[in-house]
Amino acid sequence: MKNIEMKNLLIGILTTVLFFACTESNVPNNEPGGEITFEINEQEVEAACGQCKFDLEGSGCDLAARIDGAAFFVDGTKIDDHGDAHAEDGFCKAIRHAKVSGQVENGRFVVKSFELLPIEK
């Protein structure tokens, strides 16, 4: 009887350890108030108006970057710093590509560098 109890105890412990090990997420935390969740260096990302193109909540038009599938509002450069946002190739009408460096901090992308890439034809 003791062997069965010991076996069940070991299975229970192993199951618990595996459960917690497998629930660790690699998805960035983009909740407001979150810590720095990751840094990127010279990575190509999608850039556009967060409200118009990425369905982020907010009023007006604000620059956002989609990094590995998650969209973040951008701090350190503004939507109008890169031309007319409402032009045909502007951030409110088109999703553009940019090479960026920076970090996600408190649910926002804080840029160190932001280079808007030309539209490929």
Digit-coded pLDDT (tens) for 52-95: 999 999 999 999 999 999 999 999 999 999 999 999 999 999 99
The answer on pLDDT for 100 being more than 90 is yes
Structural domain that includes position 84: 28-116
- Report CA-CA distances (Å) from 108 to 27, 69, 77, 87: 15, 14, 12, 25
What φ, ψ does residue 34 adopt, rounded to 5°? Answer: -75, 165
Q: Does residue 1 form part of some domain?
A: no
Task: Give the number of domains in the chain.
Answer: 1
Q: Does residue 3 form part of some domain?
A: no
Q: Does residue 15 form part of some domain?
A: no
Per-residue pLDDT tens digits for 3-50: 777 676 666 665 655 455 443 333 444 444 456 688 999 999 999 999
Question: What's the CATH number where 87 sits?
Answer: 2.40.50
Q: Does residue 97 form part of some domain?
A: yes
Q: Does residue 19 form part of some domain?
A: no
Q: Does residue 12 form part of some domain?
A: no
